[in-house]
Chains A and B, each alone.
Chain A
Amino acid sequence: MKHILVLAIAMLAVAPVAAIDTGKAFDDPELQARYEKLISEVRCLKCQNQSIKDSNVFLASDLRREIRRLIAEGKTDAEVLDFLVTRYGEFALYRPRATGKTLILWVAPFLLVIFGGFAMFRVLRHRMSLPIDDERAAKEQSE
């Protein structure tokens, strides 16, 4: 039983590796590292909750091919991301750049924390200023 379980788990681990051609694209480990980082940050537009590293639809493999080509041509990471954004929009990036239209995405969480903190402060201060009802508390305790 235990052996079958181990075998099953081992097979699960192998399946995604076999499906996707994300093996070695470059001999230079530095380029390979850049390539792997880039493909894990680009959304697969056809399967929108996967990166193109995790997907094997042909659009993802086409985009991987384009990224390999751009890196081989000596483009910087920023230029590669630009290539994708001009064609597919900021949505193609899992970490949209903090410019223009996408600024709200980056600023909103902080605004919400400030707003929530302020609201909590107001409520707590209001409660602190209420008189403590000793009589009722004593009554509840004796029950």
Chain B
Amino acid sequence: MSRYVLPLVAVVVLVVFLVVGLKRGDPKALPSPFIGKPAPEFELPTLKDPSATIASEDLQGKPALVNVWATWCVGCRAEHPFLLELAAENSIPVYGINWRDTRAEALRWIEQLGDPYIASGFDGSGRVGIDWGVYGAPETFLVSADGVVLHKHLGPLNRQAWERDFAPLITTGGGAAQ
């Protein structure tokens, strides 16, 4: 009987690995190394006014969303209505990083589709995107009142993901309860 124990244990271990691998969802999704750490410092000219800037300090004091978007990004178009809803509900301040885009096209996008952002930084060179570990738009970061990254969402944001992954962090961990 005992001769079967070892193979059985080996099979169980293998099955556990396979099940975990299957349940992981998108295998290309990478965990962000910034979760629980201070958000990367940045300073960018704003999209609407190249002479004005937006920087890390502007985000502090309240939990905020940092949404990385671009006009060439199909997923950004898909999530745009939901960002407008969030802005209209006053759920949370939404900031944008317009990543690897052209100013003219980005401005036209905002004009045609609406502007959910308090401000968007214009990152034409992609330099700030790299500092934030961005590898594909859209990506959305939840940053706490004291500037710590609480969550990163890959792909289009929607109500379901918002309720599941963002909302609980804002009331408990984000220091936003007050």
CB distance from B131 to the nearest CB of A (A): 7
Q: Would you call A121 an interface residue if the criterion is a C-beta within 8 Å of the partner chain's C-beta atoms?
A: no
Are A87 and B30 in contact, CB atoms less than 8 angstroms apart?
A: no
Query: Whose C-beta in chain B lies nearest to the C-beta of A48?
Result: B28
**What total of chain A residues lie within 8 Å of the partner, measured CB to CB?**
15
- Which B residues touch A66, using CB under 8 A? 127, 130
In contact, A46 and B135 (Cβ under 8 angstroms): yes
**Secondary structure of the B side of the interface?**
loop
Q: For residue B6, which residues in chain A have a CB less than 8 angstroms away from its CB?
A: 119
CA distance A63 to B40 in the complex (A): 17
Contact present for B100 and A87 (CB under 8 Å) = no
In the complex, what residue of chain A is closest to B125 when comparing beta carbons? A62
B30 touching A91, Cβ below 8 Å:
yes
Chain A residue contacts of B127, Cβ below 8 A: 62, 66
Chain A residues with Cβ below 8 Å from B125 are 62
A87 touches B126 (CB 8 A): no
Cross-interface CB contact of B126 among A45, A59, A85, A119, cutoff 8 Å: A59
With an 8 A cutoff between CB atoms, is A117 at the interface? no
Q: Does A89 contact B (CB under 8 A)?
A: yes
Closest beta carbon of chain A to B33's beta carbon, Å: 5
Say whether A129 faces chain B, with CB atoms less than 8 Å apart: no
- Total CB contacts across the A-B interface at under 8 A: 39
Q: Does B132 contact A (CB under 8 A)?
A: yes
Residues on A with beta carbons closer than 8 Å to the beta carbon of B25: none
Report the nearest B residue to A115, measured CB to CB: B10
Q: State whether A89 and B33 are in contact (beta carbons under 8 Å apart), knowing that A46-B135, A58-B100 are contacts in the complex.
A: yes
- In the bound complex, what is the Cα–Cα distance between A87 and B127 (angstroms)? 12
Is the CB of A141 closer than 8 A to any CB of chain B? no
Distance between B57 CB and nearest chain A CB, rounded to angstroms: 21
A94 is an interface residue with CB less than 8 A from chain B: no
B30, A88: Cβ atoms under 8 Å?
yes
Q: Which residues of B contact A45 (CB under 8 A)?
A: 30, 135-136
A99 at the interface (CB under 8 A from B): no
How long is the Cα–Cα vector from A20 to B133 in the complex, in angstroms?
A: 22
9 of the cross-chain contacts (CB-CB < 8 Å) are: A45-B135, A48-B28, A58-B100, A63-B130, A66-B127, A87-B131, A88-B33, A88-B135, A89-B33
Since A45-B135, A87-B132, A89-B31 are in contact, a sample of 4 more A-B pairs with Cβ atoms closer than 8 Å, ordered by chain A residue number, is A62-B125, A63-B130, A88-B33, A89-B133
6 pairs of A and B residues whose beta carbons are closest in the complex = A45-B135, A87-B133, A62-B126, A89-B33, A88-B133, A46-B135
